[in-house]
């Protein structure tokens, strides 16, 4: 079956613009994670969705970042008023249940000029 997909694969934007990143998890996976990978850094947890529970937003770096998951499937990460330090690869992962193997998408490379 299909793996986790993300779009776009690359996004170049100007400072101050808003961007939306999309993640399509593996069908049937109830848990979905967003991570950020900056150059030379380890993956940084951003937000976690589990079924219909309230999302764990503890990793979001500022109120410019938000995410939603519609219908328990597709998720969108929105960054408002982008800054140059937001430039990174944004990775989405899904899993059947927390504690099990996470399957990662290919990521979206965001460049803020």
Partner 1 sequence: KNQVEQSPQSLIILEGKNCTLQCNYTVSPFSNLRWYKQDTGRGPVSLTIMTFSENTKSNGRYTATLDADTKQSSLHITASQLSDSASYICVVGSNFGNEKLTFGTGTRLTIIP
Using CB under 8 A, list all residues that contact partner 1: 4, 35, 40-45, 48, 50, 56, 91, 93, 98-107
DSSP-derived secondary structure for 57-86: -TT--STTEEEEEGGGS-EEEEE-S--GGG
CB of 74 to partner 1, least distance (A): 17
CB of 11 to partner 1, least distance (A): 15
Q: How many CB atoms lie within 10 A of CB 105?
A: 21
CB of 33 to partner 1, least distance (A): 8
Q: How many CB atoms lie within 10 A of CB 96?
A: 14
């Amino acid at each position: 079956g299909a793996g986790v997909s993300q779009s776009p694969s690359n996004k170049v934007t100007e400072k101050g613009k808003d961007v939306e990143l999309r993640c399509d998890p593996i069908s049937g996976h109830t848990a979905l994670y967003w991570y950020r990978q900056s150059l030379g850094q380890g993956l940084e947890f951003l937000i976690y969705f589990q079924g219909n529970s309230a999302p764990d937003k503890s990793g979001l770096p500022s109120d410019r970042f938000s995410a939603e998951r519609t219908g328990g499937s597709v998720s969108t990460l929105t960054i408002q008023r982008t800054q140059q330090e937001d430039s990174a690869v944004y990775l989405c992962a899904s899993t059947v249940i927390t504690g099990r193997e996470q399957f990662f998408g290919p990521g979206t490379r965001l460049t803020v000029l």
